[in-house]
Amino acid sequence: MNVADSQRVASALEHLGYHDTPRPDDADVIVMNTCVVRQSAEDKAYGRLSSLRPLKEKKPGLVINLMGCLVGVKGSERLKARLPYVDVFSPPSDPGPLIAYLTQGQAQELEQRETVRRYAWMDGDLMLPASERGQQVSAFIPIVLGCSHACTYCIIPYRRGGEISRPPEEILSEAHALVAQGVKEITLLGQIVDRYGKDHPEYPTLAGLLTRLNAIDGLERVRFLTSHPNWMTDELLDAVASLPKIMPHIEVPIQAGDDQVLESMHRGYTVQQYRDLVARLRARIPNVSIATDIIVGFCGETAEQFEHTYELLADLKLDVAHLARYSPRTGTFSARRLADDVPDAEKWERFRRLEALQEGIAGEIHARYLSQATTVLFEEKVKNRWKGRTPTNKLVFVESDADLRSKVLPVHITWTGPWSMQGRVVDPVLERN
């Protein structure tokens, strides 16, 4: 989500005549877009802001803009007092305050409001930053902003606000604009992406939106994340299974493999319901890959409850498991009402056990691709090798002197590991073209 927001801010600044620079010392405007999902991210943001203070003192005309979840949607008075050298505070997904600050004195109030509206990313008229235009193969489109589910550990509803679905015409307009700029793959984003349209009955469902995106000429692939188990309908599963451009990769977190822990997290489903969902996904979507999220060491999690999570992951053998150690976030229910009573050393031990388990599972899954052919959309060249992804979101590297960017090519897999695979393009004629 922050990547998408940052691109839109960069594009808005370019419309005002700015261009990007890799060196903060050379900048007239510095935008720090922040994440606070974990304490480490918030600490890093404050540390980086502190490092900018001497630059501001040396260069008073420098404009520093703090944006994103550190600012949140409920005002920034506390931050203004703590960070007096920051000029502009912008909520998540909103370049408006920065644009208004930079254009003050250059236009009448009415014109300023029009400028803010024009460059706010929600108007659907999206231009990628110049450095990415024609180079970016895969792009993100937020379709659900904020979240209203309020899992007990999650800070997102407090910082990004309640759930809002964007109008489908804006989403489709952005998709067409991105394709016109060379983008081949679009990933739809939402904290609970499969709730798209629930707050607006007149909007299509996510399945309906996917159907309309599938019809866009020039668009090769569509993905979406992150899903919630309670909202993965048969209609959505059938859309993924039947629409050729919708990739068979589903990100659907479980967070814990114990019913009591799930209840404490306020997730709204049981372990058995999640098992049933995985079975449905595998039955309805051929060759589907499934990714999950797991938090270890949540408040009150016993050794036995953790073992239930370990056993579930070992049994389901999912393609990807994003692992995190629980850390309380100020303002959340768990920080206010529940005790963070699992020692940090125990959290690390549980984390590493799951990490080792998932490494073995991913290695086994990838090994099935060995000596097989699969299609790969190539994104960029990294250290003299082309990087791309399969429909199931597996990372593949290929050595080639040809320009493979944005091409979808069959690749023969020659080596597999737990985190990536290597191969060679099957048809050299296609590679040359």
The per-residue pLDDT for 116 is: 46
Q: Are residues 165 and 229 in the same domain?
A: yes
Q: Give the separation between CA 158 and CA 137, rounded to whole angstroms.
A: 33
Other C-beta atoms lying within 10 Å of the C-beta of residue 106:
10
Sign of CA dihedral 101, 104, 109, 115: negative
Nearest to 268 by CA among 325, 228, 321: 228
Q: What is the pLDDT of residue 138?
A: 96
Answer yes or no: do 388 and 421 share one domain.
Answer: yes
Question: Does residue 129 lie in a domain region?
Answer: no
Max Cα separation, the chain?
65
Sequence-ordered list of residues with C-beta below 8 angstroms from that of 53, at least 6 positions apart, any chain: 85
160 and 192 in a single domain? The answer is yes
Question: What domain range includes position 180?
Answer: 134-247
- State whether 228 and 295 are in the same domain: no
Cross-sheet strand order for the sheet of 221-225: 164-165, 138-145, 185-190, 221-225
Q: Same domain, yes or no, for 6 and 116?
A: yes
The bridge status of strand 373-382 relative to strand 320-325 is unpaired
**pTM to 2 decimals?**
0.91
Average pLDDT per run of 10 along the chain, which is 433 residues long?
90 90 95 88 92 95 95 88 94 89 66 47 66 90 94 93 95 94 96 97 98 98 97 97 98 98 98 98 96 98 98 98 94 96 98 98 98 97 96 97 96 98 82 50
Residue 106: predicted pLDDT: 59
Same domain, 195 and 272: no
Q: What is the CATH number of the domain that holds 79?
A: 3.40.50.12160
Are residues 68 and 117 both part of a single domain? yes
Q: Is residue 128 part of a domain?
A: no
Is residue 286 located within the same domain as residue 344?
Answer: yes
Q: From 247, 282, 310, give the residue that closes a domain.
A: 247
- Please tell me whether residues 164 and 94 are part of one structural domain: no
- 360 and 299 share a domain? yes
Among 327, 349, 366, identify where a domain stops: 366
Residue with tokens 């016993």: 302
CA distance 250 to 153: 23
**What CA–CA distance (Å, rounded) separates 225 from 187?**
7
Does residue 126 fall inside a structural domain? no
Number of domains in the chain: 4
Q: What is the pLDDT of residue 136?
A: 93
Q: Are both 63 and 38 inside the same structural domain?
A: yes
- Tell me how crowded residue 398 is: count the other CB atoms within 10 A of its CB: 24
Q: What is the CATH number for 162?
A: 3.30.750.210
The pLDDT assigned to 124 comes to 47
